[in-house]
Structure 1
């Protein structure tokens, strides 16, 4: 793989800012991504606009989809970020907003697929809202995954180039507390204090975490009351849940919905629920074995693996029963941070590994996972 061409493509994509919340910017970014992909693959993508968000899909060859290659072109960086964080390549390090997460991965995908002798059966899907939870693209991702025998996710690698063979599932909740207002000085005993109830519920919710199982249950944004001299009549707090297994996701969900009020007369209402199923190690095992064998054949360093707390669209592909390998993108670090960067020496080898893995899967398809894991929670 030609490193100079990989760098040129990455510069071009990083140079077009694409914050998820700016739909016009995402549309312009889609134009730039489409132009690069069309030039390298020799075919234009289908442009899919859902609720104003622009996604791109390449179906390569006349046959049915067998391998899904998945990425996104939106980033967390606001417009104007390039003014203070320009795209540079110095000392073997490429820097720039969105370079690691995950525009270099898209360029790798284009070059890997362009180098295939036969691309029939490959679908490349590039979404435009992954960084905000894939609210418009979740169904698209899941449908494409169901049609394919394997999903390869070009999200950036974990530390040291590790593939992401486990990702925690995510559940998001809003807890609403109902109380009864009264004058805080004249008759506080006549009220039902939503702040006090909220405090008890926060402690109860936090107690659902299980460190041994890797389950975190974190109360986050909270608020209650209206004035300083009124017993609060209502309150709310949000909860972020991260789990390694579907069983834990279901346990926490059931426990949250069963929480009783602490104060007489108070009410507790739970909104939200599972957002992304976990990507469990079993979903990656067969693909990991193939990738390790191919890396050895190519003379690349031995592949390492990592389980991470952050979610990706790989959670969705595994959730519908499609074998999934994530973290196949760039090696580097600093995702979403000022030091976001890509180690350029690894780009050619990782791109060649992706090419070899896609070719191997086209020649020797995998069996589907035994049990789909997808939850019904709405993506947020």
Structure 2
């Protein structure tokens, strides 16, 4: 049944920013969580609605602080990817398709676990599923912060490490946009009256590289560049989106202060630097180590050996970890190929991870 549910979810494509597709999928999640006994609601956002569901505790632990599970229903794939390049395929125990690994498989794992614990004693469970995780959750950050208040621990349903280990910390991740306004002019007849926004942007990106080079553990990727239009026109506008990764908050602050403080190199050029989304660095902590020990014990209770290790990728668990909440991520199924055309999960790991999550819910 887990594979059938995953196929249904993958068949409903949900690219980030496609509010119509995301909201239709949110309808499915709302119905499913209510079917499982939760009180579910949607939180409206212009680029796609988020979902919050609360499942009551049972027995003597019903009044204890809840466990928080974080997920997302957006993917990096456009509508049509399922049919054009990544058709659903299950072969030799491996399931292929857009979003199976990141992270509709994780959503199915949680649903299956909630079914398993329906009649067992456990503390309450809260679920937050956001619609824009793949671009840094800019519209969901406040929601995740609010729903994290008072929880016992937070768990992410993102993919695990390749060997199945959970993620115990994450680098910080920030998206920055540099926009340059110049002045258009004829490139041959009147070039001196123009101000090239593209040339200014190139020089600004060189300055960004110089800032980054001062620090040993910063990743910087210029992901997109736009500007200009004709070779006979001095370009009047150019922009670049940059992704930064930081291992600690101090380095993050220093780099972002320098980048957001950039000044034009050319006279009459204008620069605007905007932080589009930010996930602070989630660093290792004794609280997370203690939580990992409890999860290791929960895993052994269902015949599984799990461990944990740091991760470089960012997710919504960055925020809960940064807030000081004991946090672990990587409870999704085993697989590979996140954001790649060979995206896949090991079919048997869907049930195995569900057993692990159920054990976590009933033992913590």
Instruction: Using structure 2 for the length normalisation, give the TM-score.
Output: 0.84
Instruction: List aligned pairs for 1:112-191, cutoff 5 A.
Output: 112-116=113-117, 117-177=120-180, 185=188
Among candidates 346, 350, 356, match of residue 347 of structure 1:
350
1:170 to partner: Cα distance: 1.9
Instruction: List aligned pairs for 1:159-238, cutoff 5 A.
Output: 159-177=162-180, 185=188, 193-210=196-213, 213-223=216-226, 228=231, 235-238=238-241
CA contact (8 A) 2:69 2:125 kept: yes
Deviation track 1:49-86 (CA, whole Å, cap 9, x = no partner) reads: 33362333221227475210121222233333333544
Q: What is the rounded CA distance, in whole Å, between the counterparts of 1:54 and 1:231 in structure 2?
A: 41
CA contact (8 A) 1:45 1:59 kept: yes
* 3-state SS, counterpart of residue 294 of structure 2: helix
1:300 to partner: Cα distance: 1.5
In the alignment, which residue of structure 2 is the partner of 1:357? 360
* 3-state SS, counterpart of residue 345 of structure 2: strand
In the alignment, which residue of structure 1 is the partner of 2:59? none
* 3-state SS, counterpart of residue 129 of structure 2: strand
* 3-state SS, counterpart of residue 156 of structure 1: coil
Q: Which moved more, 1:52-61 or 1:339-348?
A: 52-61
Relative distance call for 1:238 and 1:50 in structure 2 (3 A) is: closer
Relative distance call for 1:93 and 1:56 in structure 2 (3 A) is: same
* 3-state SS, counterpart of residue 121 of structure 2: coil
CA contact (8 A) 1:20 1:129 kept: yes
Q: What is the rounded CA distance, in whole Å, between the counterparts of 1:161 and 1:264 in structure 2?
A: 54
Deviation track 1:263-291 (CA, whole Å, cap 9, x = no partner) reads: 45655442226621122223743322322
1:19 aligns with 2:20: no
1:79 aligns with 2:87: no
1:329 to partner: Cα distance: 0.9
Q: Which moved more, 1:79-88 or 1:119-128?
A: 79-88
Relative distance call for 1:91 and 1:45 in structure 2 (3 A) is: same
Deviation track 1:208-232 (CA, whole Å, cap 9, x = no partner) reads: 2259642022334335556545655
Deviation track 1:325-359 (CA, whole Å, cap 9, x = no partner) reads: 11111100112222211112223332222222223
* 3-state SS, counterpart of residue 50 of structure 1: coil
Instruction: Using structure 1 for the length normalisation, give the TM-score.
Output: 0.81
Relative distance call for 1:289 and 1:51 in structure 2 (3 A) is: same
Relative distance call for 1:203 and 1:322 in structure 2 (3 A) is: same
CA contact (8 A) 1:86 1:96 kept: yes
CA contact (8 A) 1:179 1:233 kept: yes
In the alignment, which residue of structure 2 is the partner of 1:105? 106
Q: What is the rounded CA distance, in whole Å, between the counterparts of 1:143 and 1:71 in structure 2?
A: 15
Among candidates 47, 51, 62, match of residue 46 of structure 2:
51
Instruction: List aligned pairs for 1:298-313, cutoff 5 A.
Output: 298-309=302-313, 311-313=314-316
Unaligned stretches of 5+ residues in structure 2? 57-61
1:119 to partner: Cα distance: 3.8
1:246 to partner: Cα distance: 1.1
* 3-state SS, counterpart of residue 159 of structure 1: coil
Alignment RMSD (CA, Å): 3.0
1:69 aligns with 2:46: no
Relative distance call for 1:193 and 1:34 in structure 2 (3 A) is: closer
CA contact (8 A) 2:187 2:234 kept: yes
In the alignment, which residue of structure 2 is the partner of 1:287? 291
Relative distance call for 1:328 and 1:183 in structure 2 (3 A) is: same
